[in-house]
Structure 1
Amino acid sequence: MPWYAVYTVSRQEKKVATRLAEIGMEVYCPMIIQERQWSDRKKKVEVPLLPSYVFVKLESHDRELVFQVSGIVRYLYWLGKPAIIKDAEIDILQKWLQDKVISFEVVGIQKGTLYEIPSGPFIGQKGIVEKIDKSQITLILEELGVKIILHK
């Protein structure tokens, strides 16, 4: 059975994943911990790695079953067909997310250059530098088709 990516209503990823699991579907919603700043405090919260996306594993003839769950907008398409995500790609995401700490040093990196992530869940992945700030770097990981922000 292949994995498919479904696009969800904003901030509904966890609820959609729970509802899909309740009706017996194999589902994966990769989550990360981020530190968020409120006016009076900082707090660590669990947020989706890929906002508005949840992965479901099902047969192609069962694809319409996901729409029984509220909060799903559509499937992610590639070349006019629902995009199929390989088991190996899901396994890589799961492996990457086992590590919780990412640290890096921004030295001599320019916008548009290729940068290899030295540690953490995305270790060894190469991305094109899109933006550099004092405490973070934004990379486009073309192989996965995602943009990530690494915090120092």
Structure 2
Amino acid sequence: MKEKNWYAIYTKPRWEKKVSKLLTDRHIVTYCPLNKVKRRWSDRMKTVWVPLLPSYVFVYIETSDMQKVRETPGVVNFVYIEGKPAIVKDFEVARIRKFLSEFENVELEPFNPQRNQRVMINQGILVEEEGRVIDLKNNKVEVAIQSLNYNLVALFDKSKLINN
């Protein structure tokens, strides 16, 4: 049996819902996180569902289905990390689903680490290790990890860190 994974795909602007429907029609499992938001019109308030992540949709596929996804109208491409389509962990998709089921009017804020901030590594060999930001260099972050009374210092891509 082939292994299925969640992947993030990048869509044309404002095509998230359309792409999700087109892929579902092609028997591909998708998840387009929608945020319930109250919007004011000149004459009334209305509740609308807007994509939480503009221009992104998640697909649950085998690698053999990647071409079928790419050929779907509105799909720009897969999101790549280090030259490969980025695999999104099941628990991350579940966490987004749970969060959106409990909260409305969710706002996204970019993660911008600061010096001396505590962070956790979320990818690679040091996954779930905690550290402290020492220095910032463009998209790279120098992190000190305490081990055996020594600081192990490593340079990480900002995308591999989460606020702790």
TM over 0.5: yes
- 8 Å Cα contact 2:37/2:104 also seen in 1: no
Q: 2: CA distance between counterparts of 1:36 and 1:24? A: 33
Q: 1: CA distance between counterparts of 2:76 and 2:39? A: 27
Residue 11 (str. 1) matches residue 30 (str. 2): no
TM-score, reference length from structure 1: 0.65
Secondary structure of the residue that 2:101 maps to in structure 1? coil
Q: Which runs of 5+ in 1 are unaligned?
A: 104-111, 115-141, 145-152
Q: Which runs of 5+ in 2 are unaligned?
A: 107-113, 118-160
1:2-151 aligned at under 5 Å gives the runs: 2-101=5-104, 143=162
CA deviation string 1:108-150 (max 9, x = no partner): xxxx697xxxxxxxxxxxxxxxxxxxxxxxxxxx539xxxxxx
Aligned residues: 113
CA deviation string 1:2-25 (max 9, x = no partner): 111000111111110011001100
Please state how far the C-alpha of 1:43 moved relative to its aligned partner. 1.8
Instruction: Give identity over the alignment, percent.
Output: 43
Please state how far the C-alpha of 1:101 moved relative to its aligned partner. 4.5
Please state how far the C-alpha of 1:102 moved relative to its aligned partner. 6.9
Which has more radius of gyration?
2
TM-score, reference length from structure 2: 0.60
Please state how far the C-alpha of 1:31 moved relative to its aligned partner. 0.4
Calculate the aligned-residue CA RMSD, in Å.
Answer: 3.0
Q: 1: CA distance between counterparts of 2:41 and 2:102? A: 26
